[in-house]
Structures are given as C-alpha cells and as structure tokens.
Amino acid sequence: MVAISTPAETRTLLENISWLTFKAMLADMGNSRNTRLAYENGVLEIMAPDMPHENSNRVIEGFVIALFNAALEHFRRYL
C-alpha cells in the first residue's frame, strides 16, 4: 500500500485487487461516497479529496447549474 498526499487530496493505492472486489466495493459504498475509486489492471486507487478542494468543486458546480438553468429558461421561451 502506498499513500500519496497532495494539498488537494490523499491517494491510496492497493495492488492485486480483483475486478469483482472493486465492483463489490462500489456497490457497498453507493453513489453518495466522499471518495473516488479508480481501477486498472489489478490496482485500485482510492482518492479522498480534502475540504478546500471539495469546496472549490461545489462552487464551480453551483455556477454550472445556475448557467444551465438560465440557458434552459432562455431556450424555453422559443419553444
């Protein structure tokens, strides 16, 4: 196991993980998890974003949603 820390996130690499184990972990954790998982050739990477990184993502997400809603309203006027 290797843990790599950066200012924005903590990463953990697990080797020799089967695809079935990866799929079972995804199912157990569900969609509302705070961690992100990536799998390639038996290596599972678990990424846990730190709060400043996540806060920035939520702000950007809010801007994108607001922009989308404004564009949707604009186009609805012409339908």
pLDDT in tens, 23-36: 988 888 887 777 88
* Maximum C-alpha span of the chain: 56
Tens of pLDDT, residues 17-68? 999 999 988 888 887 777 888 999 999 998 887 766 556 666 777 778 888 8
Q: Which residue has the higher pLDDT, 42 or 4?
A: 42
The whole-angstrom separation of Cα 68 and Cα 70 is 5
**Bridge-based pairing state of the strands 9-14 and 36-40:** unpaired
Confidence category of residue 2, pLDDT binned at 50, 70, 90: low
What is the DSSP-derived secondary structure letter of residue 1?
-
pLDDT (0 to 100) of residue 72: 84
Domain assignments of the chain as residue spans, ordered by start? 2-76
- Residues 37, 11: Cα–Cα separation, whole Å: 10
Q: Report how far apart the first and last C-alpha atoms of the chain are (Å, whole number).
A: 56
